[in-house]
Structure 1
Amino acid sequence: MDCKCQVDVGATVSDHFVGFLPVLDTSGAGLTDVFLKHMEKLGLAISKCRGQAYDNGSNMRGKNNGVQKRVLDINKKSTVHAMHQPHSLNLVIVVAAKSTVDSVSFGVLQRLYTIFSSSTQRWELFKENVPQMTLKPISNTRWECCVESVKVLRYKLPDVGNALPSLKKVIVTPRLQTLEQEIMSSKFLLTVIIWYNALHEVNRVSKLLQSPQVGIDVLQHEVEYVLKFLKKYRENDLLSAQTDARDIAEEMGMPMVFPTAQIRKPKRQFQYESQICLASFMEERKKAIQSRTLKDSCVNMEKTLGDVDAGDLLREVSAAVNAVPAKETTGLQILSYIYSNNLVELYPNLSIALRLMVTVPVTVATGERSFSHLKLIKTHLRSTMLQERLSALAWISIEHEVTRSLDKDELIRAFSAHKHRRVKF
């Protein structure tokens, strides 16, 4: 990630794709060697690196022999890591969904999608009964598909209930009758409402984590809001879910009988075996980004990075609180205000701290998008494409905003001059 600070326009943050690299040795040592050679080729100094962001692969993120540890051994200042990973959030929710028997069965949602999408006739039948909404296949990583599937049953369960009897005229199978009984039960209806309300809020944070413009300051407020919502919903708002379930049940003419809770002797478990819940996970994420006291944070930054003076940074932050306009609320806005008004000499340490904050790798989602472009570029029609052309096409595709801003005539003239083959006698 590259931070470009200009006096006339303030501060801008740029995140650019550098290319695909061929790798023969996938160990931590092999990947680190390829990475460092490419950094040297691009003229980038590893000594100026202040942050790293990797996925959950052990050869990349391993604390003993991974790329993260080897780069940290070379540059002790590259200690800032990605705070959140959307896939980790999604996978924890998957585990939470499977933690209890009474949880909404996502297998039912997958069976519902399969039975309607197996033929065009059944899919048209579903669209006739459930307009403006559609079913999605269940995925462990693309959690938004689960939210959309639950949304259909949350708001269109009566229509789905009407589509199933119509489907019996097309196919006759015992599985269809079993599926209808599961969906038209009061317990299933209640769990669908509860899960949709929770997943709707969690999905907001998941989308925010995938945004290339998100900052730690904005993300902290959103995570705290979701944490408060989950705690409040678990303690106080379950009665509202029961009320919504009764309204839908009355519309469908379905008896709404809530199961009575049975008192069971709790099973003794080790700490790592305890039941996972969404609120506890969000609490851990909050602690990961929750700031210390101002003085402790300044001292920790000086000790870890050594780029700032803790005492001067503390005084500059205190002065900026009163000097910077109240409308400048985010870190990027404050940094832009400092550069656009030539105040870097007044806030040298604060400007460095803000530059690190706005460029810190909050998530790895941006880097993983390159694989989506790779599937579009590297097809069976381009099976003989070499590495240089693959990276060039990826640059054009991923950096399309930069590509549109280029002067095409100037590029043509430069290409023509470079490929000039006339021989002067």
Structure 2
Amino acid sequence: INTHTHTHTHTHTHTHTHTHRSFNSEWYKQHPWLEYSQSQNSAYCFACRHFSLPNTPASVFTSQLGFSHWKKAMYKDGGFKVHEKSEGHINAMFAWGEHKKAILTDSSILDALNEAYNKKVQENRKYIKTVAEVLLLTSTQNIAQRGHRETEGADNRGNFLEILEMIAKHDPVVQKKMKGKQNAKYTSSVIQNEILECLANMVRDEIIREVKESEVFSVIADETKDLKKKEQLSLVLRYYYNGAVHESFLDFQQATRLDAEGLKDKIIHRLERYGLEYRSNLVGQGYDGASVMSGKHSGVAARIKTDAKHAVYVHCNAHCLNLVLIDTVKAVPEADCFFALLQKLYVYISGSYVHQKWLDVQKEMYEGQPRELQKLSDTRWACRYLACRNLMDRLPAVLRVLHDIATENSGERSVDARGLLTQLDISFVSLLATFRRLLGDAKVLSDTLQSPSLDLAMALDLVSALKDSFQEYRKETFVDNLWKSIVDTRKCNDGDKDSFRRTIFYPIVDTILGELDRRFSKVNCEIMRGIQALNPKSTCFLQEEAVFRLGEIYESDSEDLSHELHQTRRLLQRKQQSGMANLSGIVELAVFLEPHKDVFHELFRLCKIAIALPVSSAACERSFSALKLIKTHLRTTMADDRLSNLGVLSIEARRAKSLDMDKFIKLFATNHQNRRINLIIFNKLYLS
């Protein structure tokens, strides 16, 4: 019963007695203590029923039957008037009044407490949000958070605390919290880890949501050693979502076992942890060519395929191109010696005395900024193009530097210069010009293969285009033009040209063409033919046989697929007749079909599969670059979970920067309830 507010109901029907009289609602105005029961057709006293003092004599207004003599209700010597004058009623009315005063007072106190509490919570939320934003800033910028000494009075307490202190100078709320209790500042390493985990999980949740909506996906994985000599496994998911290809980083994991079974368990455990249905939806695997990953019978790819039968292994195409160049150099001895000499020249020019002379000579001979010779990369052969280009453009300056030092008679340095000068002959210059051209073309392909938006069909087209270019290079006109650039650098005769063509240029070009055919022969397999048939630029676009075979591999409904192919051709023809531009790739075909995906379900699914199949493992390589920026020499003691969370926030910085911080506060407050700082706002506080 609500003893705070006593309300009267005027809408009920009052029953007439045998005297044809009934309860009158107007009596409520004169007697606010009055209450009426329609079922009993009787009146009662609200005050006496609820606030009578102990041992108060019973009254008809508190009895079960109640008062119903309506004729006497308003008599001076009976009914309501007499009851109002009774001592018991007067005491009850006083008690009721005091009760209402107390309730009103308590309500004011509750409102004040509620307002003060919510104000405190708002301050707490603002402070925690600021702490999280500082951690987010340092994470996305790959800045170390913690300092060597974080105690009060230390000169440098680390980027995280120093940035917070700077903000505190301009924000009274942050300043108040920073000067508060030590155990309620929320700046400890434990709290940092919890906030970073919450932020990283929000990014992961967004990625997982997109993958689940896309349905099909591929996994790309690679491992590397960090500065602590721990093997870190990088995991990336590739999928089609919202009209674009996505390669999203999921996390780093320490790989304690480097055998195929151990690595396979790591990958599967992560997919299961994030609730991804890999048995039917995992359509591709992208790794490098290491035997532990690509082994036909017991490698990681083969083991995963036993559980996920659709998970086709794709050898990283960027690695394939790299192997083409490596095998070419090994097959042509002159080329192998050329790159060894190129590295020796870089080392010699990099010496302090020689390097200064190198800069001075360039300033005399050329306008603009001096160029540096490039160190050769052992793993990225296409990048050696820059080394060849810079040396070719600055070869006269190199020869002058070596000649000047050789005539100085300065001991070992002069001897080395004479030796290098002797070896920079016509053969070296010929190889330099050749590899500048060939590696330049290969670098364009290498850079394109590393693009996340590239699909396999386009990759195979680019490889074919490179092979066509190299075939053109075997023509006499190209060799003549290339030889002219060599003649402009060194004096030579016609016999040198024939020797160059026969012993250097043709063997290198033929070896590259042979290796390209061998390494990229997968174009003949059924999956690749099916993917090509989904490429609008292909001559076999929407060819039924190739698409049907791809559909069989991925268990499509052949009858539905046949109807969809027929309707798609007709739809594309009508669109082209109306002036729509031709589609240029599988992604554009998927975008075209997506508004009608319920109608073209099977064909749209095959497009998503073709897009999801990995082209290269470059996304993992890029994550290793982030790993080096995060786990530096000064941060080698970083825990694996923190490293993984920082990796997600750094690599997926675009997603991290767009996080809803109010949502973060709610998640943080929900997941971490035992806190010294209240973060949950209540609409009302209740006191017992």
Structure 1 and Structure 2 fold alike (TM over 0.5): yes
Separation in 2, partners of 1:158, 1:139: 24
Separation in 1, partners of 2:391, 2:569: 52
User: Residue 479 of structure 2 corresponds to which residue in structure 1?
Assistant: 238
Q: Secondary structure at the match of 2:668?
A: helix
* Residue 288 in structure 1 maps to residue 528 in structure 2: no
Confirm or deny: 8 A CA contact 2:456 2:614 kept in the other structure: no
Confirm or deny: 8 A CA contact 1:83 1:289 kept in the other structure: no
User: Residue 211 of structure 1 corresponds to which residue in structure 2?
Assistant: 451
Q: 1:421 to 1:61 in 2, by over 3 A?
A: same
User: Residue 382 of structure 1 corresponds to which residue in structure 2?
Assistant: 635
Separation in 2, partners of 1:37, 1:88: 29
User: Residue 361 of structure 2 corresponds to which residue in structure 1?
Assistant: 129
Gaps of 5+ in 2: 1-206, 216-240, 363-368, 503-507, 530-539, 679-684
* Residue 194 in structure 1 maps to residue 434 in structure 2: yes
Q: 1:350 to 1:116 in 2, by over 3 A?
A: same
1:75, CA displacement in angstroms? 1.8
Separation in 2, partners of 1:69, 1:323: 44
Bigger mean CA deviation after superposition, 92-101 or 394-403: 92-101
Separation in 1, partners of 2:455, 2:361: 43
Separation in 2, partners of 1:115, 1:357: 49
Q: Secondary structure at the match of 1:53?
A: strand
Partner residue of 1:157 out of 382, 391, 395: 395
* Residue 86 in structure 1 maps to residue 318 in structure 2: yes
Q: 1:101 to 1:12 in 2, by over 3 A?
A: closer
Letter in 1 for 2:290: G
TM-score by length of 1: 0.85
Separation in 2, partners of 1:10, 1:378: 34
User: CA offsets per residue over residues 236-271 of structure 1, 9 Å max, x none?
Assistant: 32121112212233xxxx344643659x9xxxxxxx
Q: Secondary structure at the match of 2:431?
A: helix
1:153, CA displacement in angstroms? 2.7
Q: Secondary structure at the match of 1:328?
A: coil
Partner residue of 1:363 out of 616, 628, 631: 616
Partner residue of 2:462 out of 211, 219, 222: 222
Separation in 1, partners of 2:246, 2:357: 48
User: CA offsets per residue over residues 115-148 of structure 1, 9 Å max, x none?
Assistant: 01122x3222223334542211122212244211
Q: 1:189 to 1:23 in 2, by over 3 A?
A: closer
Q: 1:22 to 1:245 in 2, by over 3 A?
A: closer
Confirm or deny: 8 A CA contact 1:202 1:226 kept in the other structure: yes
Q: Secondary structure at the match of 1:277?
A: helix
User: Residue 260 of structure 2 corresponds to which residue in structure 1?
Assistant: 28
Confirm or deny: 8 A CA contact 1:53 1:364 kept in the other structure: yes
Q: Secondary structure at the match of 2:489?
A: helix
Separation in 2, partners of 1:146, 1:286: 22
1:346, CA displacement in angstroms? 3.5
User: Residue 270 of structure 1 corresponds to which residue in structure 2?
Assistant: none
Separation in 2, partners of 1:73, 1:343: 34
Separation in 2, partners of 1:257, 1:278: 26
1:403, CA displacement in angstroms? 1.2
User: Residue 562 of structure 2 corresponds to which residue in structure 1?
Assistant: 311
User: CA offsets per residue over residues 51-99 of structure 1, 9 Å max, x none?
Assistant: 11112222222111111111111121112x3254323322321221232
* Residue 138 in structure 1 maps to residue 407 in structure 2: no
Partner residue of 1:69 out of 289, 296, 302: 302
Separation in 1, partners of 2:323, 2:275: 38
* Residue 182 in structure 1 maps to residue 429 in structure 2: no
Q: Secondary structure at the match of 1:14?
A: strand
User: Residue 277 of structure 1 corresponds to which residue in structure 2?
Assistant: 511
Letter in 2 for 1:30: G
User: Residue 333 of structure 2 corresponds to which residue in structure 1?
Assistant: 101
Confirm or deny: 8 A CA contact 2:289 2:319 kept in the other structure: no
Separation in 2, partners of 1:242, 1:275: 15
Bigger mean CA deviation after superposition, 284-293 or 393-402: 284-293
User: CA offsets per residue over residues 260-284 of structure 1, 9 Å max, x none?
Assistant: 659x9xxxxxxxxx99711122234
User: Residue 17 of structure 1 corresponds to which residue in structure 2?
Assistant: 249
1:321, CA displacement in angstroms? 4.0
Q: Secondary structure at the match of 2:465?
A: helix
Partner residue of 1:115 out of 348, 351, 357: 348
Separation in 1, partners of 2:379, 2:677: 56
Separation in 1, partners of 2:357, 2:454: 42
* Residue 248 in structure 1 maps to residue 489 in structure 2: yes
Separation in 2, partners of 1:194, 1:406: 50
Separation in 2, partners of 1:126, 1:234: 36
1:412, CA displacement in angstroms? 4.8
Separation in 2, partners of 1:117, 1:31: 41
Confirm or deny: 8 A CA contact 2:318 2:449 kept in the other structure: yes
Separation in 1, partners of 2:349, 2:499: 35
Confirm or deny: 8 A CA contact 2:405 2:414 kept in the other structure: no
Letter in 2 for 1:350: L
Letter in 2 for 1:155: D
Q: Secondary structure at the match of 1:16?
A: strand
Gaps of 5+ in 1: 265-273
Separation in 2, partners of 1:238, 1:415: 67
Separation in 2, partners of 1:153, 1:381: 36
* Residue 332 in structure 1 maps to residue 587 in structure 2: yes
Pick 1 or 2: higher relative contact order, CA cutoff 8 A, min separation 6.
Answer: 1
Q: Secondary structure at the match of 1:213?
A: coil
* Residue 43 in structure 1 maps to residue 279 in structure 2: no
Q: Secondary structure at the match of 1:384?
A: coil
Separation in 2, partners of 1:194, 1:414: 60
Q: Secondary structure at the match of 1:64?
A: coil
1:205, CA displacement in angstroms? 0.7
Separation in 2, partners of 1:43, 1:3: 9
Q: Secondary structure at the match of 2:311?
A: coil
Letter in 2 for 1:334: L
Confirm or deny: 8 A CA contact 1:230 1:279 kept in the other structure: yes
Confirm or deny: 8 A CA contact 1:53 1:361 kept in the other structure: yes
Separation in 2, partners of 1:208, 1:385: 35
1:353, CA displacement in angstroms? 1.4
Q: Which has the higher Rg, Structure 1 or Structure 2?
A: 2
